[in-house]
Amino acid sequence: MAVQSWIDILKSSKKTALIHDGKRKVHYLFTDGKEMSEEYDLKTDELIVRKWRLKNTLGGQGQWQAEVGEHLAGPVTSLDSDGLRENCSNPVFMRKDTKTSFQWRIRNLSYPKEVFSVSVEPTERCIIIKTSNKKYYKKFSVPDLDRSQLPLDSSALSFTHANNTLIVSYKKPNEILTLERELLKELKKLKGTCDGDVDCKTQ
């Protein structure tokens, strides 16, 4: 039922599709003013980027927040205007899904695999990465499961470590798999204009 409601929200949103650079780009505008933008690989149909833009409390437009894929390299701001910036040697957290599982990659973590422990916190609906040397800690939720109100299952979780990168995978439940198949079918029906500038109806 909950899975259904998310599909309905998606269906009721205004969508614009565009095929560019070997990617199918879709822009959604929801009735509550939220915007979502997705990019799929044309060949493999894999989700490459999903980002969100919300209105802030006073009605102004916020920044795009990446849910899947790398953070946008926005206009390069100087350190002086920001005042403070994370050093580039710090771990970088990003999500990159595969067909069958949600996957998170944390680069710049040069500690051995034994240091890490990854666990599910079902009450808080989040996954926690801990390090025994107290260097890295991350608590994050799985928005896809939250939207469909599916429970988190610790048996679906696994992690590996290689090339200074920690990879955490969570097997997609069947409900999510069917939802994604249905959505993709729906998106393929949208006639995506090929290349060139198009007027974005939803913006």
Partner 1 sequence: MATTKVPEVRDITRIERIGAHSHIRGLGLDDALEPRQVSQGLVGQLASRRAAGIILEMIKDGHIAGRAVLIAGQPGTGKTAIAMGIAQSLGPDTPFTALAGSEIFSLEMSKTEALSQAFRKAIGVRIKEETEIIEGEVVEIQIDRPATGTGAKAGKLTLKTTEMETIYDLGNKMIDSLSKEKVQAGDVITIDKATGKISKLGRSFTRARDYDAMGAQTQFVQCPEGELQKRKEVVHTVSLHEIDVINSRTQGFLALFSGDTGEIKSEVREQINAKVCEWREEGKAEIIPGVLFIDEVHVLDIECFSFLNRALESDLSPVVIMATNRGITRIRGTNYTSPHGIPIDLLDRLLIIATSPYTEKETRQILKIRCEEEDVELSEEAHTVLTRIGMETSLRYAIQLISTAGLVCRKRKGTEVQVEDIKRVYSLFLDEARSSQYMKEYQDSFLFNETQTPAMDTS
Bridge partner list, 117: 130
Give the side-chain half-sphere CA count within 13 A for 121.
Answer: 12
Give phi and psi for 114, each to the nearest 5: -65, -25
Q: Which stretch binds partner 1 (CB under 8 A): 40-48, 62-70, 109-117, 137-145?
A: 137-145
Residue number, 55 or 113, with CB nearest to partner 1:
55
Residue number, 11 or 201, with CB nearest to partner 1:
201
Length of the chain equals 203
Total residues in contact with partner 1, by rule CB under 8 A? 27
Q: For residue 189, state whether it binds partner 1 (rule: CB under 8 A).
A: no
Q: Which stretch binds partner 1 (CB under 8 A): 109-117, 135-143, 151-159, 185-193?
A: 135-143
Residue (of 106, 92, 141, 104) closest to 120 by Cα position: 141
Which residues inside 94-133 make contact with partner 1, applying CB under 8 A?
130-131
Q: For residue 89, state whether it binds partner 1 (rule: CB under 8 A).
A: yes
Dist CA 126 CA 121 (whole Å): 5
Which residues inside 12-71 make contact with partner 1, applying CB under 8 A?
56-61
Whether the CB-CB separation of 27 and 44 falls below 8 Å is answered with no
Hey, is 176 helix, strand or coil? Answer: helix
Among 138, 182, 184, 192, binds partner 1 (CB under 8 A): 138
Dist CA 126 CA 158 (whole Å): 14
Q: For residue 188, state whether it binds partner 1 (rule: CB under 8 A).
A: no
Residue (of 161, 179, 184, 159) closest to 170 by Cα position: 159
Among 71, 85, 181, 188, binds partner 1 (CB under 8 A): 85
Q: For residue 5, state whether it binds partner 1 (rule: CB under 8 A).
A: no
Instruction: Give the interface with partner 1 as residue ranges (CB under 8 A).
Output: 56-61, 78-87, 89-90, 130-131, 134-139, 203
